[in-house]
Amino acid sequence: MATLMDVLRVAVEGQGLPAGEVLVEEDAPGPQFCEMCRNYRDVDAHGLCADCARSVARGYEISVLAGRCANGAERDAGTLFHARWIEDGEVSLRAVCGAEPGRRSVGWSSWSPPERQVTCERCLRKLGQVMASPQRDVIEHYCAVGVITERARLDWLAARDAFLLAVADPTQHRIGAWVRARRHALRNHAPTGDAWSDLIESSFNPCSMMTEALQLERLVAQEPESELGRMARVEIEKRHWWERQPTSGQLTLDGRLVMV
């Protein structure tokens, strides 16, 4: 009876290889370990999976705290999605708001739904303060690395300026100017690479990431004079403005696009 080694020897000889030489297949593209999350997924040229590439582009990871896992389950896991800064390819152990694993949590959960958004209001407030600084200017970064055009950069800078004016004085006139500038920037966005328009807008308007209308309305009610409260008011008015427009699609207060 032929052994497995006999079968392999015959197969190698059938390839015309010299005795003792092993046939080595060329590396084929496929799933690999992501350099950041260490999950086995399809990666890009930088060794990052699609989810981690999006996180690096916006400058922070979105995570939820796991529970104690005392019985092997995470029924006591956190319900808020926090922002965690990414520096030199490493994700901070502490959230932007200061939350970190402790006696009631074994660490940050690996659960990462693709459509997750930051829901921690303290993180959103910090993001609104920090992301507007020149050190974290997403618009300039995207243009510098060549994934948006110079025209798109100018359009988004104009939209950002219009938004900041609307936040400083949220009148209907200024909010309308911001919405028109934003629509113009979206029309001419045309990215040449991994640059999503929602990441650009969220860099100066953290309230755009809030999909629940009640969360926006609560911010307006609780902090009417704060910068984040004014941002929430402008975001609400922006969505109302879209509802009033005679277009083929309407953006509802909950952030959903409804075709009409």
> Mapped to the 3 state alphabet, what secondary structure does 203-236 carry?
HHCHHHHCCCHHHHHHHHHHCCCCHHHHHHHHHH
User: What's the CA gap between 237 and 8, in Å, rounded?
Assistant: 71
User: What's the CA gap between 22 and 25, in Å, rounded?
Assistant: 10
Residue 252 domain-assigned?
Answer: yes
Residue 165 domain-assigned?
Answer: yes
Between residues 134 and 174, the one the model is more confident about: 174
Mean pLDDT of 58-67: 84
| pLDDT-above-70 percentage for the chain | 71
User: What's the CA gap between 87 and 221, in Å, rounded?
Assistant: 35
| pLDDT-above-90 percentage for the chain | 2
For the cut 70, the answer to whether the pLDDT of residue 191 exceeds it is no
For the cut 60, the answer to whether the pLDDT of residue 16 exceeds it is no
CB atoms within 10 A of CB 207: 24
Residues in the chain, total: 260
Please state whether the predicted TM-score (pTM) of the whole model is above 0.85: no
Cβ burial of 5 (10 Å; 0-12, 13-18, 19+) is: exposed
Q: What angle do CA 103, 67, 37 make, to 5 degrees?
A: 105
Instruction: Tally the C-alpha atoms within 13 A of residue 129's C-alpha that lie toward its C-beta.
Output: 9
Residue 12 domain-assigned?
Answer: no
Residue 23 domain-assigned?
Answer: no
Of 58, 96, 63, nearest to 197 by C-alpha is 58
Residue 220, domain extent: 131-260
Q: What angle do CA 118, 116, 93 make, to 5 degrees?
A: 60
Residue 117 domain-assigned?
Answer: no
Q: What's the confidence (pLDDT) of residue 260?
A: 33
Cβ burial of 131 (10 Å; 0-12, 13-18, 19+) is: buried
For the cut 50, the answer to whether the pLDDT of residue 30 exceeds it is yes
Q: What angle do CA 192, 179, 191 make, to 5 degrees?
A: 0
> Quick one: how many helices (H) and strands (E) in the chain?
9, 7
For the cut 50, the answer to whether the pLDDT of residue 53 exceeds it is yes
User: What's the CA gap between 142 and 127, in Å, rounded?
Assistant: 18
User: What's the CA gap between 166 and 233, in Å, rounded?
Assistant: 10
Residue 176 domain-assigned?
Answer: yes
Residue 70 domain-assigned?
Answer: no
User: What's the CA gap between 140 and 154, in Å, rounded?
Assistant: 10
For the cut 70, the answer to whether the pLDDT of residue 250 exceeds it is no
Q: Say how many domains are in the chain.
A: 1
φ and ψ at residue 216, rounded to 5 degrees: -65, -45
Tell me which range, 26-30, 92-96, 120-124, is most confidently predicted by mean pLDDT: 92-96
Q: How far is the CA of 85 from the CAs of 7, 51, 71, 134, in angstroms?
A: 55, 15, 31, 16
Q: What angle do CA 117, 152, 231 make, to 5 degrees?
A: 40
pLDDT band at 13 (very low <50, low <70, confident <90, very high): low
* Both structure tokens of 250: 């309407």
Q: What's the confidence (pLDDT) of residue 204?
A: 83
Measured distance between the N- and C-terminal CA atoms of the chain, rounded to whole angstroms = 73
Q: What's the confidence (pLDDT) of residue 1?
A: 52
Residue 218 domain-assigned?
Answer: yes
Mean pLDDT of 166-186: 86
Q: What's the confidence (pLDDT) of residue 259?
A: 36
Q: What's the confidence (pLDDT) of residue 253?
A: 41
Q: What's the confidence (pLDDT) of residue 95?
A: 92
